[in-house]
Chains A and B, each alone.
Chain A
Amino acid sequence: MKFGILVFPGSNCDQDCFYVIKDVLGKPAKYIWHKDTDLAGLDCIILPGGFSYGDYLRTGAIARFSPVMKSITEFARKGGTVIGICNGFQILLEAGLLPGVMLRNKDLHFICSYVYIKTENNDTRFTGLYNAGQILKIPIAHNEGNYYIDAAGLKELRDNNQIVFRYCSAAGEVDDQSNPNGALDNIAGIVNKKGNVLGMMPHPERSSEKELGSEDGYFIFQSIVKWLKV
């Protein structure tokens, strides 16, 4: 089983994801340059965080036109496993692989901090190793993580059980106080209808080792490995 990690100009968590897959998870990984289109032999694609094209226009707005994104769309259509983290999530939204948009954080500042999220759906290929409702300690680092979707879209997300993670307090309360960026319904991560594409603002690759203060994110990668094996 092999992971592919996309590299856009301005990606800056690509090497962190590579390290986690290869050195922590112990699985093969390779970088995919944004101008490449060949995804043969890959089982899971990671769109890492960063500032693709500087995010000068709108987060992810230019990256979605990279040649590789056509291949990713096809890969996802066929049921391939795709995970977008932070800027990767924003790119998936721009590319239409996930529904909704990102607004600026409610306090208009970039926020880098540990937060807590609640596993709302552990019946996905990304979350199979978590208990239902499990609370994860995991960092966020973004300027535009204020997720928004219209009422009909939100209803659809809820009805299809597509909301995977919600921001919460250390004790698990999902409320305004524990919502760091103003995201609608405290949404921190969602999957597409088919459940093979995950987008999340928090960084699991930054919370996969004890030395860094939390290992809670590690089990997202481990869940994928387990799911792909079955």
Chain B
Amino acid sequence: MVKPDVYHSLGLSDKEYRYILKILKRNPSNTELAMFSVEWSEHCGYLCSRKWLKLLPKTGKYKTLIGEDSGGIILDDLAIVFKMESHNHPSQVEPKQGAATGVGGILRDIFTAGARPIASLNSLRFGPLSQAYNKYLLSGVVNGIQFYGNCVGVPTVGGEIYFDESYSGNCLVNAMCIGIAKKEKLMRARAYGAGNAIMYVGSSTGRDGIGGCSILASNEFKEGEEKRPTVQIGDPFTEKCLIEATLEAINTGYLVGIKDMGAAGLTCCTSEMASAGNSGMDVELQAVPRREENMEPWEIMMSESQERMLVCIKKGKEEQIKKIFLKWDLNASVIGRVTEDGLVTVRDNGKIVARINAHSLTKAPIYDMPYRKPSYLRKLNKLEFSEIPDVKDYNKVLLKLLAAPSITNKAWVYRQYDHMVQTNTVVLPGSDAAVIRLKGTNKGIAATTDCNSRYCFLNPYRGAQIAVIEAARNLVCSGAQPAAVTDCLNFGNPKKPESFWQFKNCVEGIRDACRSFDLAVVSGNVSFYNESPKSAINPTPAIGMIGILNDIHKACSQNFKQEGDAIILLGYCREELGATEYLKEIHHLTKGDIPQLDLKLEQAVQKTALKAIEKGLVNSAHDCSEGGLAVALAECCISNKDKMIGADINKLNYDMRLDALLFGESQSRIILSCSKDSVEKVRKMALKFKAPFYVIGKTGGRVLRILNDTEELIYLSLEDLNEQWSGSLRKKIEG
């Protein structure tokens, strides 16, 4: 009999322990108990979330591929595989290694599918930079991403960074990777065919990361806890060798399946590969390369040492595959064979230390969690305009917003990432979405990540919808047809009904937005327990989306290109101020109803913009989002530092609060610029798709001026705008 405090310390409940006894019909060994604890952790087993994740659409306008560890779409003879994954808790504990191993893990999910990684993105959230620890986290996370990503030679082309008090004590690090493969070369994470070899490849196993997923990722942070030993250490050089060796090995055609040893390490690989292949596996732990002495069997099964993979190889081809890995100076050791009995049998020097049915390990219990709308929302969602004092100096507000960490230029960050290696990056970081070409074709992929978690906090359902459609809008602005989605769902403790209500509503929002745009969710990840002792994080369903460009020569970016172009606004400005960056930065309020969303209007605006870009009619396109119209226009003016161009916005005529006009965040708006000759053609397109179309001014000069009717609201030199926008982040971090 195992004592309750033993299985409790591994994160298993009394009920789960009783269930294990029922499955085994005997007491579990130490190793078996450890294996159940990691496979049935929330991180690996999706106990609370699985019921709701089933709602997400698996089909869309492109043919989809859903694998065990990643998913993608088919484009001609190519498979585009992509996924986003969280590494929040390790990064909060040890930012450099936490972020680095987050990048490493998501890369392995992609290349174990047989796809060469061609681009990385990341979605990051931190507490305010006024606190020293948050600065340390941001610097450390960026350092970890550059340390790992630059070395492996995969360009980090995009992403997002937001700051909010709710992330103090629990930062978010979500890493996304995109890879491509000839579709016939794709691999699955499966083992089958009795007698086929199970080979361990990559780094040796140590004691690092034991319990990383069950203890670190499946609990919230409490006061004064020391959890550093549960964080893994990354080795990007080994990863780079693993990428090359793995793709070479897959190319032989001798592999049956392959899987990354990520969370839950060898336990996860043996049980999930066997289960997915409807087979069993008999492995000998003495054959596992180790770098520490006297490791117990359960430690070997739970270790999360990085840069390791498990490969299933056709019987008789072991030596050919081994040779490839040895050429790259990597371990390659046959540790067992596929069996027909459906059991994962683990031996130590021949002695059985665990024997469990593979399916029962991988089919963790599903929980139907209670949920309840938080009572605080009723009060928070109310916003009387009379509560907000009028602002006198709109220039000052615009400059302050351009310096706000969530809005300001992120060049300090992306300059540290190699975003050009592989020579495919056509639109560099700093625009609405990055564009990478597919060599040998005219086509390209645009990629972005998006989520406004303040919206999701105040209205999870619509907030999640907006995250999806704004990601799509970003892609459209780069000239891409939105194609498919990966999501990384970051939430608080699922056992708190209010937290779970946020989760449920966000999933439903993603489902409905994806359906209306005919987008499949091909892969994803859930991270619960994102709470500090003070509070839970804002619900943050980060959306990663890719789009397809038929001709990369038509790729579009946000900055104005030439003087004398007409500036067009597609969409309406509504009198909305709730949940805006303006309200937070200037009035220190997080409240109100979030912007309205009309999916039909959104479709009309996106279709018009995309068509106009594809026809080569427009010179720039930029989504209006945080900070509203004024910030978006300023960004159009200054985001090419070598060629800043001013703008005169002299045709607005709105009857509404002027702060709402300038800084409100109404959805479904895109700013285009085009030569005078093209204006009528774009107008006709807008008419055809029923998108609101207004010429609001023209480009030129060294000043951004915005009038409403005849009243001058903004008059600022490009240099003043740029000083706030370009220098602020660095100043806040480095002083």
* Chain A interface (Cβ < 8 Å from any Cβ of B): 9-10, 12-13, 15-16, 19-20, 23, 49-51, 53-56, 109-113, 139, 141, 143, 170, 203, 205-206, 209, 211-213
CB-CB nearest 8 A-B residue pairs: A12-B153, A54-B237, A51-B151, A141-B418, A16-B423, A112-B418, A110-B416, A110-B146
Does B329 sit at the interface, judged by CB under 8 A?
yes
Cα of A111 to Cα of B552 in the assembled complex, Å: 26
Cα of A23 to Cα of B437 in the assembled complex, Å: 15
Contact in complex: A113, B241 (CB < 8 Å): no
Known: A56-B237, A206-B420. A12 touches B152 (CB 8 A): yes
Cα of A202 to Cα of B665 in the assembled complex, Å: 41
Known: A9-B328, A10-B151. A211 touches B237 (CB 8 A): no
Chain B residue nearest to A210 (CB atoms) is B553
Contact in complex: A9, B241 (CB < 8 Å): yes
Contact in complex: B420, A211 (CB < 8 Å): no
B409 to chain A, nearest CB (A): 13
Contact in complex: B439, A19 (CB < 8 Å): yes
Chain A residues positioned under 8 Å from B425 (CB to CB) = 212
Chain A residues positioned under 8 Å from B422 (CB to CB) = 15-16
Chain A residues positioned under 8 Å from B428 (CB to CB) = 213
Known: A19-B439, A141-B418. A51 touches B423 (CB 8 A): no
Does B236 sit at the interface, judged by CB under 8 A?
yes
Chain A residues positioned under 8 Å from B642 (CB to CB) = 170
Contact in complex: A141, B439 (CB < 8 Å): no
Chain B residue nearest to A211 (CB atoms) is B426
Contact in complex: A141, B241 (CB < 8 Å): no
Contact in complex: B328, A12 (CB < 8 Å): no
Cα of A139 to Cα of B152 in the assembled complex, Å: 18
Known: A9-B328, A16-B423, A112-B420. A211 touches B552 (CB 8 A): yes
Chain A residues positioned under 8 Å from B151 (CB to CB) = 10, 12, 51, 54-55
Does B417 sit at the interface, judged by CB under 8 A?
yes
Chain A residue nearest to B422 (CB atoms) is A16
Of the residues A141, A205, A211, contact of B437 by C-beta under 8 Å: A211
Contact in complex: A203, B420 (CB < 8 Å): yes
Contact in complex: B421, A205 (CB < 8 Å): no
Of the residues A10, A19, A110, A112, contact of B423 by C-beta under 8 Å: A19
Which among A12, A16, A51, A113 has the highest number of chain B CB atoms within 10 Å?
A12
Chain A residue nearest to B153 (CB atoms) is A12
Chain B residues positioned under 8 Å from A15 (CB to CB) = 422
Contact in complex: B418, A110 (CB < 8 Å): yes
* Chain B interface (Cβ < 8 Å from any Cβ of A): 146, 150-153, 235-238, 240-241, 328-329, 414-423, 425-426, 428, 437, 439, 552-553, 642
Contact in complex: B426, A212 (CB < 8 Å): yes
Chain B residues positioned under 8 Å from A206 (CB to CB) = 420-421, 423
Cα of A53 to Cα of B241 in the assembled complex, Å: 10
Chain B residue nearest to A111 (CB atoms) is B415
Chain B residues positioned under 8 Å from A139 (CB to CB) = 420
A110-B417, A205-B423 given; name 9 further pairs at CB < 8 Å. A10-B241, A12-B152, A16-B423, A20-B423, A49-B421, A139-B420, A141-B418, A211-B437, A211-B553
Known: A9-B241, A16-B423, A19-B439. A112 touches B235 (CB 8 A): no
Known: A16-B422, A109-B415, A110-B146. A10 touches B552 (CB 8 A): no
Contact in complex: A50, B153 (CB < 8 Å): yes
Cα of A15 to Cα of B235 in the assembled complex, Å: 22
Chain A residue nearest to B240 (CB atoms) is A10
A120 to chain B, nearest CB (A): 23
Of the residues B329, B414, B419, B423, contact of A209 by C-beta under 8 Å: B423
Contact in complex: B153, A54 (CB < 8 Å): no
Contact in complex: B240, A51 (CB < 8 Å): yes
Contact in complex: B237, A13 (CB < 8 Å): no
Which among B150, B240, B419, B423 has the highest number of chain A CB atoms within 10 Å?
B423
Cα of A97 to Cα of B246 in the assembled complex, Å: 34
Q: Can you list 11 A-B contacts with CB-CB less than 8 angstroms, sorted by A residue number? A: A9-B237, A9-B240, A10-B151, A13-B421, A15-B422, A19-B423, A54-B236, A55-B237, A110-B417, A112-B417, A206-B421
Cα of A12 to Cα of B155 in the assembled complex, Å: 11
Cα of A15 to Cα of B424 in the assembled complex, Å: 12
Cα of A23 to Cα of B440 in the assembled complex, Å: 9
Chain B residues positioned under 8 Å from A213 (CB to CB) = 428
Chain A residues positioned under 8 Å from B421 (CB to CB) = 12-13, 16, 49, 141, 206
Contact in complex: A10, B237 (CB < 8 Å): yes
Cα of A42 to Cα of B493 in the assembled complex, Å: 62
Chain A residues positioned under 8 Å from B437 (CB to CB) = 211
Contact in complex: A141, B423 (CB < 8 Å): no
Cα of A142 to Cα of B439 in the assembled complex, Å: 24
Chain B residues positioned under 8 Å from A23 (CB to CB) = 439
Cα of A154 to Cα of B240 in the assembled complex, Å: 36
Cα of A211 to Cα of B329 in the assembled complex, Å: 37
Chain B residue nearest to A107 (CB atoms) is B734
Which among A19, A110, A113, A213 has the highest number of chain B CB atoms within 10 Å?
A110
Chain A residues positioned under 8 Å from B414 (CB to CB) = 112
Cα of A208 to Cα of B18 in the assembled complex, Å: 65
Cα of A205 to Cα of B428 in the assembled complex, Å: 16
Cα of A98 to Cα of B552 in the assembled complex, Å: 40
Chain A residues positioned under 8 Å from B146 (CB to CB) = 110
Contact in complex: B237, A51 (CB < 8 Å): yes
Chain A residue nearest to B139 (CB atoms) is A109
Cα of A159 to Cα of B670 in the assembled complex, Å: 57
Contact in complex: A112, B426 (CB < 8 Å): no
Contact in complex: B150, A51 (CB < 8 Å): yes
B731 to chain A, nearest CB (A): 14
Cα of A113 to Cα of B642 in the assembled complex, Å: 13
A202 to chain B, nearest CB (A): 11
Cα of A112 to Cα of B418 in the assembled complex, Å: 5
B128 to chain A, nearest CB (A): 23
A146 to chain B, nearest CB (A): 16
Cα of A163 to Cα of B235 in the assembled complex, Å: 36
A208 to chain B, nearest CB (A): 8
Cα of A207 to Cα of B14 in the assembled complex, Å: 62
Contact in complex: A112, B237 (CB < 8 Å): no
Contact in complex: A112, B153 (CB < 8 Å): no
Chain B residue nearest to A23 (CB atoms) is B439
Which among B151, B437, B553 has the highest number of chain A CB atoms within 10 Å?
B151
Chain A residues positioned under 8 Å from B415 (CB to CB) = 109, 111-113
B442 to chain A, nearest CB (A): 10
B45 to chain A, nearest CB (A): 35
Chain B residues positioned under 8 Å from A20 (CB to CB) = 423
Cα of A55 to Cα of B418 in the assembled complex, Å: 15
Chain B residues positioned under 8 Å from A12 (CB to CB) = 151-153, 240, 421
Cα of A203 to Cα of B418 in the assembled complex, Å: 12
Known: A12-B153, A51-B151, A212-B425. A112 touches B419 (CB 8 A): yes
Chain B residues positioned under 8 Å from A170 (CB to CB) = 642
Cα of A10 to Cα of B426 in the assembled complex, Å: 25
